[in-house]
Structure 1
């Protein structure tokens, strides 16, 4: 019992509690691009600052007290929470929903802890015959196959280097092995459990309280400068009422897909005014005022009901050493669709494919052919996308240069938005 309690204490600090499909939560999310995160038990949906769904992710999530499928925790040490999914696949997303990395085969148990010397937190991926460690940004640190099937692991610093070591229970046996933070076996033979399971408390996001649903939170919905409005939830309906009371509501919404289970009031964009975000088991409702008129929108709370729309934006193209620099820039933009297809085709095969910015410098000879395509920077985190984009640029037709060669710097932003099917 002591071991079980210690393990729950350790893992519970970095996890959002497991939620069934009937339970929903909405988070006042600290990201300017995606200011609201919704978990309706069928994955997560991030709302953009326009109040519409921006990113949606569903996966075969783990469940149970040792490994809930979702954690919201600062993995990268930048003061903002990342979205960490455990199961098949297992993954880390930035706060705005941009993928950081994915373990495509998934993990039977995912452990978040300070394991390596990297900044921020790391993950331990436990599968039946192997334990692997990755940095929070997806760099493979080490893997070990102890020759015995593993059931689950817990962590504690037993070597005294302020990094977490592992203690893993052998499958079907009341016996444990220990593995260091560098992937070395610490015990030659299995022994009894010895770790306390205690660890420093880690940051986690906090779901919105039920004060909005209870009508206890007042806010300025009508824009008169007075926080007098409140939410009233009834059977099959949601009202926003002011000083005139429920008989003359400022807004009334007939609900589909169950009763409201979570709600949040927040200013989403820079236009002013607040939005009421209410979540049922099936729908996400966003109620606000636009140019004095009440607007009610509703979207699916099921993350699997969204499709991914990719974008490859040629953010900037700079040409130097060409007889006609504008023609060189236009030659790059002419193959923009091919570069976009690099990203689109990858996303069709893998919803967690990397996104981000790639900068490529082309060196073009007198014959207009590319001599070299050098990648100057990338935080895309997907070698297939990066390689495909470089190849598309290499095959372009470019104008003549003034001297021996010319250069073109191409700045590409790969990103996506999810829209309801």
Structure 2
């Protein structure tokens, strides 16, 4: 008896738009108002993504900047910036976006020990994300919830306790196996185009999280230096140094008394300085609020102090607090800058990293890359056939 390949989620119902854009349609259809009487470098495709992003950020007001740091980035029409929702799930297929090809859960794929197959799976999943993006692409280039190109996967935490309810999202208890399969999946998701990323993958949750879920907002873990290096960090290091992952997600819990999303030792010293990470760091949903919430880690007393600590430590993007209607810290960011607490240069650095990612996904090009992918290229018989290849290799015997 064959298993179904498709699934439908009832979360965030999506209405299909008429006149949907194809990948060959211009993203920047008109010159933005701010660029009609002056030359805007961010529109020059011959410049580097870093130069373009820096120019774009330099043209924003403080209030506009604050609206771009949350997972729902609003449109800025005068600059030609479309709205964008950064939140997309893809542990074993496109999730929460209607029908899509389903692969075995991550823990099941891990039993194969098959890194090349994981890369093939990532390639299929990224194709389906591109198709979903095209299917509901707005006329101004904006995207819908769960149909973007920034994928919050893979989960490369170490599965140490079978009672952890989310352990099935991981590749198991072995740091080496987790590293190899994470590398394969990320390479498939991000692709091998020399200029553009097919999608951007996210190594999560950084770092030292292996459940349980009940105390994840309050727990401070104190791994031994050896356990940190030998167990919890190898997969993250490998996905940065070998797979060139472009995004990492900082964790809910604290490590050695410092919240993961305000932990300079993890995000700056390890991730950026030691491993050479060039991408952006996104918070787990509500993890930025954990820095200051009284019912959580309460590492800082106010929201202004909390976002300042996070951004200074290397957090770039805030997924909203689901305990508070998915709100993000827009006003606290504005307040922190105006109060002299948060240097605007720190905020600008985070924004440049974020817009470099969007530029390298092709969102500010005259036409979108990967023009061979159509808006119907998801849940296809060819993709189903790839799913049917599991398992290819037994993990034992």
Q: Quickly name the TM-score band, shorter chain normalised.
A: under 0.3
Which protein is richer in helix relative to its size? Answer: 2
Task: Tell which structure's C-alpha radius of gyration is larger.
Answer: 1
Higher relative contact order (CA 8 A, sep 6+): 2
Superposition TM-score, scaled by structure 2 size: 0.26
